[in-house]
Amino acid sequence: MAEQTPLKHSTFSTWLGLVLGTWAGLAWGSLISASIGIGVGVAAGSVLGGFLAVPLWGTVWGLICLRRHRELAVKDHGITLLPEDDPLAQRVYELAARLGLQTRPWVGTMPHNNAYAIGSGANSAMVVVGQPLLDTLSEAEVDAIIGHELGHIVNNDMRRMGLARSFQNSLVWYLGFSDTVQRWGRWFLTWVSELYVLSISRKREYWADAFGAALTSKEHMISALEKLHNVPDLSEFERKEARLMCRGIAEGSWLSTHPTLEERCAALEARTYLERIPVMNSNVVDVRAPLTLPKVADFAYAKN
C-alpha cells in the first residue's frame, strides 16, 4: 500500500511558487521594457519596486477578495442556497464530518451541469451542485461529486487558486495594462506562473477525485465523472470559471485546467492518489444508508 500523504492545509508552498513566478514575470517585463527604449535604469527600478509591491498587493488583496468569494458567488452565479435541514445539505454535512471538518459549509444548487466549491477556507466554504447532476446521477454518484468538492475544501485548494488569480492580476495592474489587454498581458508576462498554476489545478483534481472515491468507491467516482463529461460542451460560465469546476477545460495540454477524463479514470483505477489520503475506508457507516441520509429521489427540487 502506498504511503499516506497528510492533508495539505497550508498554502505556503503555493504562495512561494507564486512569488517566484511573479519575480520571473517582472524580470521578463524589465527585459522587454529595456529593449523598446524605456531604459535599463528605469526598467530595473520598476522591477525592484515590484519585487515587494506585487507579492504584497497580490497577497493582501487576494485574502480580502477570498473573504467575499462565497457571498459574491451567491449573488453572481445564479445559486439557490439551501437551508440546513434540506436533504442535500444534510448529505453534505454528513460527508464533511467523515472528513473531519468541524464546520458546515453553505450548500447550494445551480442550473449548470457541474459542481464546485468556493470560499477562503473550511470555515467559509460553500459547495454548489448543479441541478442537472441531481436529476441524472445516482445517490452514490452524487456523494462522489460532493466528496470531490469537499476534498478541495479540506485541502484548501480554493485559497490556492484565489491567490494565484490575485497575484497574476496584481502583476498586470502594476505594469499598467488596460482592461482590454490584461488577459494577453497576463500570459505574455506571467507565463511561468500561469503554467505553474495550471499544473497545480490539474494535480488538485486528481486529489479531489480520490476524496470522492474514498467516501464512496472508485467505481462510483468514475461513473460520476463519465456522466459529467457525457454532456454538451461547457457553457460560457463554466469556461470562465473552469478552475473552480469539477469538470473544466481538459484538452490534454499544459494549458488545460483539468486532466482529461481518461487520465482521471486511470488514476482512480490505479489508486494513485486514493491510497495516499488519510481517509478511513473501513469500519464506517455506509453514507448512502437511508437511516443516515435521505435519498436523492426524496429531494423536492430533484423532482421538478
* Catalytic sites, residue numbers: 149
Provide the grid cell at 18.
507564486
Q: Using CA of residue 241, residue 248, residue 199, residue 66, what is the dihedral sign?
A: positive
Q: Which three cell numbers stand for residue 271?
A: 489508486
Cα separation of 199 and 17, whole Å?
A: 12
Roughly what angle, to the nearest 10 degrees, separates helices 261-269 and 218-229?
170
Instruction: State the Cα angle at 240 between 147 and 67, rounded to 5°.
Output: 65
Who contacts 264 (Cβ-Cβ below 8 Å, separation ≥6)? 205, 206, 209, 225, 258
Q: Please say whether the beta carbons of 63 and 120 come within 8 A.
A: yes
Say which residue the cell 505594469 belongs to: 175
Q: What angle do CA 285, 152, 25 make, to 5 degrees?
A: 165
Distances in Å between the alpha carbon of 47 and those of 17, 66, 107, 190?
18, 27, 43, 14
